Amino acid sequence: MVSTANNWRFRPAYAMVNGGPDLAPNSAPASNAGSECGDIEFTREYVEALLNERPKRKDRFSLKEKCDSLTEYIKRLKPVIRWFQELEGSYLLEHEKLQNSLQVSELQRSEMDLLLKNKEEELNSIIAELRKNYASLQEKFTKEELDKMAAMDSLTRERDAKLEIERSKFSLSDELERVQRDLTSAKQQNSSLSDMYKRQQEYIANLQHYNSKLQTDLSTVEEDRKRVETEKASMVENLGMYRGQLEVSRQCQDDAVKQRDALANEVAQLRMELQQVRDDCDRHQLQVQTLTAEFTQYKESTEKSYYEWGDLTSKNDELEARCLSQSDQIKTLKDQLMTAEKKLQMSDLSTMERRTEYEGQKKQISELRTRLADAEFKLIEGEMLRKKLHNENLELKGNIRVFCRVRPFLAEDGSNTEGKVISYPTSMDALGRGIDLVQSGQKHSFKFDRVFVPDVSQEDVFEDISQLVQSALDGYKVCIFAYGQTGSGKTYTMMGKPGDPEQKGLIPRTLEQIFKTRQFVQPQGWKYEMQVSMLEIYNETIRDLLATNRSSSDMLRTENGTAGKQYTIKHDANGNSHVSDLTIVDVRSANEVSFLLERAAHSRSVGKTQMNEQSSRSHFVFTLRIYGVNESTEQQVQGILNLIDLAGSERLSKSGSTGDRLRETQAINKSLSSLSDVIFALAKKEDHVPFRNSKLTYLLQPCLGGDSKTLMFVNIAPDSSSAGESLCSLRFAARVNACEIGVPRRQTYMRPSDSRLSYG
Ligand SMILES: Nc1ncnc2c1ncn2[C@@H]1O[C@H](COP(=O)(O)OP(=O)(O)OP(=O)(O)O)[C@@H](O)[C@H]1O
């Protein structure tokens, strides 16, 4: 089995475990390749090839693969090492044998010495070579072991890292799952949101449809109401006519009854007379018969005396004549009786006719009464429906609404009229609602619930708010205020021009409507009581404008601009505002209120600024408290109407104020900015609404707090020098218009014991 040193071949007893065909020496018999205990020939080339085929560090295997291939390689090295050990053993054995044979044959020794020496040398060189190989293999093995250890280490590290990665993979996949779940739920949410959006859109469309239906219903009801009213008026007229007819027929009937009675009396008298005549006639006939009998007796018995006969004949003639005349009389009386009976029959007939006519009229009247009651009921129903529809309509429109009014150019505007800064879009959606303002060459567009162009009359403006006024009578809190810079037309809008009925403002028109409606609903059982109060807030101080005995300190502004008397605002448990010591006046007619308005106008503090000679530097608050009871339905309502002419909103720089005027402007700005803060806080549904930041907002808290119907007029001056202020006003108004404040609530509770001081 031992080959020469240069070409040694050895078939070890050991099996080559999983000897890969690529590592097997080319000379190895093909039949043994891959067999578990195959006898591989370990040639020099095989070992060298094996050594050369050690996996290189540089090979781009993964650590695990490297480790596996190293393990594999070591496994394959082990038999080679064992083979070397075996080979060494066999050489040593052979050496020993040779030594022994050296001893056996001395002869052979010398021969063999050389051979042995050669062999020994050869063996030694082989051994040395093998040792060298062994050492190098050992070294390689150690190195490989170290590599293996390092590879194992790095494998462990890699495993740890892999574990870590696996863990993070798990957590990532968890996360991924969660994210996917989130994504699914987000998708679901998204789809449900889009469903909801669709539903909302549908709902909005339905609402719009419903709104238009309500509008149609409202107009139908309005038409019905008008028709019913016309019907009622014609019925009332008919009723009056029928009543007149009834009166006439009653009189006719009385006359007929009287006539009938007279005729009956006449008939009775005639009957009596007839009876008398009949009695007379009978008596006369009896007399005639007696006389005829006497005459016959006399004629038969005596016939002697011619004279007696003559007497008797004349007596008889006399009696016959009397008899004839009585017969005539009887005939006449009978004729009279016949006529009287005919007359009686006729009068009975006419009485019967009158009675039937009377019954018919009575029936007609009762029918008319039922129809009238029906019409009144329908009217009440229609009125109730109108109120409901009106309120639903207002709720759909939102309970804080903004109307914009642009005043016409005035002579005072002078050259500022040049360069038109305001225009009105004519597109379908903005018609009557849009306004464009050009400032510094830039166009700003705004849209409100309504925009009144300069030539819109006071009457037309009032037309648009009259329904809101009606709401106050229906028991709602209503607040209308005018906002805008000085001279923009706030006072003109609210009060109008005194002395010109055409230019009456909202306040007098409102009062006229309220008192007219009060009159109109009276037949439906409504009775209203009204109370008026008027105050102004000047430099954050309240002043009673209706106080008759105002103290000098109350009347006059002190030097620092504050009034002497302090009116304190309080809110009761029902959320109503009360101002201590404020004058409240019961009013029964629009004239009474006009008188009070004039009184208040005198008391108003009017200052002068550069901008407007008659500029009002205070907020004017007019309050009408309405308390209504319906005696037939026992319904009770309590409405409040606040009409407010705010002080001018101009900026300090523009007002050019100094001293007292500067203080006024600062106070005005403070309260107006408080008003805007309150409105925006309400719109954002913030927990804290800063009502207390100014007297104005604190006083109007119940009317701004959500359950009232609020309308803001933003007044705009058209001149180019006011463009900056106009832009500020329009911006503020646009923000207010974007607000939604609560739902208006109708006040139908019982009248409070002291309602006189309540504001809302
Ligand atoms: N729509 C209008 N039609 C005709 N004239 C108007 C109109 N609006 C305002 N005016 C006139 O413009 C002037 C200023 O109006 P007004 O006094 O109402 O302004 P204001 O905003 O109330 O000012 P202030 O803040 O000073 O009270 C008045 O002479 C008024 O008659």
The pLDDT, as a whole number, for residue 428 is 74
Q: Average pLDDT in the 634-663 region?
A: 72
Crossing angle for the helix pair 458-473 and 506-521, to the nearest 10 degrees: 50
The pLDDT, as a whole number, for residue 311 is 64
Q: For strand 442-447 and strand 434-439, is the pairing parallel, antiparallel, or unpaired?
A: antiparallel
Cβ of residue 453 lying under 6 Å from some atom of ligand 1: no
Question: Which percentage of the chain shows pLDDT scores above 70?
Answer: 75
Of 375, 397, 419, the one marking the end of a domain is: 397
pLDDT over 70 at 730, yes or no: yes
Cβ of residue 729 lying under 6 Å from some atom of ligand 1: no
The pLDDT, as a whole number, for residue 549 is 62
The pLDDT, as a whole number, for residue 410 is 86
Q: Domain of residue 281: give its range.
A: 105-397
In angstroms, the Cα distances linking 753 to 218, 531, 534 are: 37, 14, 21
487 is in an annotated binding site: yes
The pLDDT, as a whole number, for residue 459 is 94
Higher pLDDT, 719 or 215: 719
Residue 600 CA from chain centroid, whole number: 38
Counting Cα atoms < 13 Å in the Cβ hemisphere of 502 gives 2
381 and 409 both lie in a single domain? no
If one counts the domains in the chain, the total is: 2
Q: Ligand 1 centre from 615 Cα, in Å?
A: 9
pLDDT tens digit sequence for 587-596: 988 888 888 8
485 is in an annotated binding site: yes
Atom of ligand 1 minimally distant from the CA of 495: 18
Q: Average pLDDT in the 98-112 region?
A: 71
**477 and 639 in contact (C-beta within 8 Å)?**
yes
Cβ of residue 674 lying under 6 Å from some atom of ligand 1: no
Residue 532 to residue 547: CA distance in whole angstroms: 12
The pLDDT, as a whole number, for residue 482 is 93
In a domain, 422, yes or no: yes
Of 362, 397, 432, the one marking the end of a domain is: 397
Kindly report the number of other CB atoms within 10 A of residue 390's CB atom: 19
496 is in an annotated binding site: no
Q: Ligand 1 centre from 651 Cα, in Å?
A: 18
Query: Which mutation among 492, 661, 725 tests ligand 1's pocket best, with the greatest number of atoms within 8 A of CB?
Result: 492
**52 and 25 in contact (C-beta within 8 Å)?**
no
392 and 405 both lie in a single domain? no
In angstroms, the Cα distances linking 568 to 544, 642, 698 are: 11, 18, 10
Higher pLDDT, 653 or 314: 314
Kindly report the number of other CB atoms within 10 A of residue 288's CB atom: 19
628 is in an annotated binding site: no
CATH number, domain of 263, equals 1.10.287
The pLDDT, as a whole number, for residue 534 is 92
DSSP letter string, 165-228 = HHHHHHHHHHHHHHHHHHHHHHHHHHHHHHHHHHHHHHHHHHHHHHHHHHHHHHHHHHHHHHHH
The pLDDT, as a whole number, for residue 8 is 45
Q: For strand 450-452 and strand 400-406, is the pairing parallel, antiparallel, or unpaired?
A: parallel
391 and 458 both lie in a single domain? no
> Quick one: pLDDT band at residue 42, thresholds 50, 70, 90?
low
Q: Ligand 1 centre from 740 Cα, in Å?
A: 29
Cβ of residue 410 lying under 6 Å from some atom of ligand 1: yes
In three-state form (DSSP H/G/I as H, E/B as E, the rest C), the secondary structure along 590-654 is: HHHHHHHHHHHHHHCCECCCCCCCCCECCEEEEEEEEEEEECCCCCEEEEEEEEEECCCCCCHHH
The pLDDT, as a whole number, for residue 456 is 94
Atom of ligand 1 minimally distant from the CA of 488: 21
> Quick one: pLDDT band at residue 714, thresholds 50, 70, 90?
very high
DSSP letter string, 366-394 = HHHHHHHHHHHHHHHHHHHHHHHHHHHHH
The pLDDT, as a whole number, for residue 92 is 86
pLDDT over 50 at 559, yes or no: no
The pLDDT, as a whole number, for residue 531 is 92
Atom of ligand 1 minimally distant from the CA of 614: 26
Q: Ligand 1 centre from 406 Cα, in Å?
A: 10
> Quick one: pLDDT band at residue 416, thresholds 50, 70, 90?
low
DSSP helix/strand/coil, 134 = helix
388 and 406 both lie in a single domain? no
In a domain, 547, yes or no: yes
pLDDT over 80 at 109, yes or no: no
Rounded (10°) CA dihedral 591, 593, 595, 601: -140
66 is in an annotated binding site: no
> Quick one: pLDDT band at residue 257, thresholds 50, 70, 90?
confident
DSSP state of 707: S
Q: Average pLDDT in the 61-77 region?
A: 75
Which of 526, 242, 180, 501 lies closest to 376 in space, CA to CA? 526
362 and 452 both lie in a single domain? no
Higher pLDDT, 43 or 398: 43
**Residue found by looking up tokens 């100014």 in the block:** 694
Least confident range from 363-372, 496-505, 603-612, 696-705: namely 603-612
pLDDT over 90 at 454, yes or no: yes
Q: Average pLDDT in the 54-70 region?
A: 66
The pLDDT, as a whole number, for residue 468 is 84
Q: Average pLDDT in the 686-713 region?
A: 83
710 and 597 both lie in a single domain? yes
Angle value at C-alpha 204, between 202 and 205, nearest 5 degrees: 60
Who contacts 753 (Cβ-Cβ below 8 Å, separation ≥6)? none
Cβ of residue 505 lying under 6 Å from some atom of ligand 1: no
Using only the alpha carbons of the chain, give its radius of gyration. Answer: 65
Of 372, 397, 422, the one marking the end of a domain is: 397
pLDDT over 70 at 376, yes or no: yes
Higher pLDDT, 299 or 350: 350
pLDDT tens digit sequence for 149-194: 887 888 888 888 888 888 887 888 888 888 888 888 888 878 877 7
**Measuring from atom 1 of ligand 1, which residue has the nearest CA?**
407
**Measuring from atom 8 of ligand 1, which residue has the nearest CA?**
489
Q: Ligand 1 centre from 257 Cα, in Å?
A: 74
**Residue found by looking up tokens 């039937």 in the block:** 356
The pLDDT, as a whole number, for residue 458 is 95
pLDDT over 70 at 6, yes or no: no
The pLDDT, as a whole number, for residue 644 is 92
pLDDT tens digit sequence for 259-274: 777 777 877 777 787 7
514 and 388 both lie in a single domain? no
DSSP state of 408: P
pLDDT over 90 at 405, yes or no: yes
> Quick one: pLDDT band at residue 744, thresholds 50, 70, 90?
low
Q: Average pLDDT in the 485-514 region?
A: 90
Atom of ligand 1 minimally distant from the CA of 405: 1
Q: Ligand 1 centre from 329 Cα, in Å?
A: 103
Cβ of residue 490 lying under 6 Å from some atom of ligand 1: yes
353 and 413 both lie in a single domain? no
The pLDDT, as a whole number, for residue 318 is 77
Which of 45, 50, 99 lies closest to 77 in space, CA to CA? 50
pLDDT over 80 at 297, yes or no: no
DSSP helix/strand/coil, 747 = coil
372 and 433 both lie in a single domain? no
Atom of ligand 1 minimally distant from the CA of 454: 1
> Quick one: pLDDT band at residue 66, thresholds 50, 70, 90?
confident
Question: Which percentage of the chain shows pLDDT scores above 90?
Answer: 11
The pLDDT, as a whole number, for residue 16 is 39
In a domain, 411, yes or no: yes
Q: Average pLDDT in the 457-483 region?
A: 89
Atom of ligand 1 minimally distant from the CA of 406: 1
In a domain, 6, yes or no: no
In angstroms, the Cα distances linking 73 to 19, 76, 77, 158, 625 are: 10, 5, 6, 21, 108
The pLDDT, as a whole number, for residue 701 is 84
491 is in an annotated binding site: yes
Atom of ligand 1 minimally distant from the CA of 615: 26
539 and 412 both lie in a single domain? yes
Cβ of residue 408 lying under 6 Å from some atom of ligand 1: yes
CA quadruple 536, 541, 544, 545: dihedral positive or negative? Answer: negative
- The amino acid sitting at 602 is H
The pLDDT, as a whole number, for residue 434 is 92
pTM of the entire predicted model? 0.52
Higher pLDDT, 239 or 610: 239
355 and 432 both lie in a single domain? no
CATH number, domain of 493, equals 3.40.850.10
34 is in an annotated binding site: no
Least confident range from 105-109, 336-340, 583-587, 710-714: namely 105-109
Q: For strand 400-406 and strand 619-630, is the pairing parallel, antiparallel, or unpaired?
A: unpaired
Query: Which mutation among 407, 409, 458, 605 tests ligand 1's pocket best, with the greatest number of atoms within 8 A of CB?
Result: 407
pLDDT over 80 at 745, yes or no: no
Cβ of residue 484 lying under 6 Å from some atom of ligand 1: yes
Cβ of residue 708 lying under 6 Å from some atom of ligand 1: no
The pLDDT, as a whole number, for residue 506 is 93
Q: Average pLDDT in the 349-365 region?
A: 81
The pLDDT, as a whole number, for residue 69 is 77
In a domain, 612, yes or no: yes
In a domain, 571, yes or no: no
Cβ of residue 458 lying under 6 Å from some atom of ligand 1: no
Cβ of residue 508 lying under 6 Å from some atom of ligand 1: no
Residue 514 to residue 466: CA distance in whole angstroms: 9
341 and 410 both lie in a single domain? no
Q: Ligand 1 centre from 467 Cα, in Å?
A: 24
The pLDDT, as a whole number, for residue 21 is 34
Q: Ligand 1 centre from 455 Cα, in Å?
A: 13
Least confident range from 472-476, 616-620, 640-644: namely 616-620
Cβ of residue 486 lying under 6 Å from some atom of ligand 1: yes
In a domain, 590, yes or no: yes
**Measuring from atom 11 of ligand 1, which residue has the nearest CA?**
489
The pLDDT, as a whole number, for residue 436 is 93
558 is in an annotated binding site: no
pLDDT tens digit sequence for 276-288: 777 877 777 787 7
The ipTM estimated for the assembled molecules is 0.97
pLDDT over 80 at 581, yes or no: yes
Atom of ligand 1 minimally distant from the CA of 646: 25
Residue 57 to residue 142: CA distance in whole angstroms: 15
Q: Ligand 1 centre from 614 Cα, in Å?
A: 9
The pLDDT, as a whole number, for residue 509 is 93
In a domain, 742, yes or no: no
Angle value at C-alpha 629, between 628 and 633, nearest 5 degrees: 140
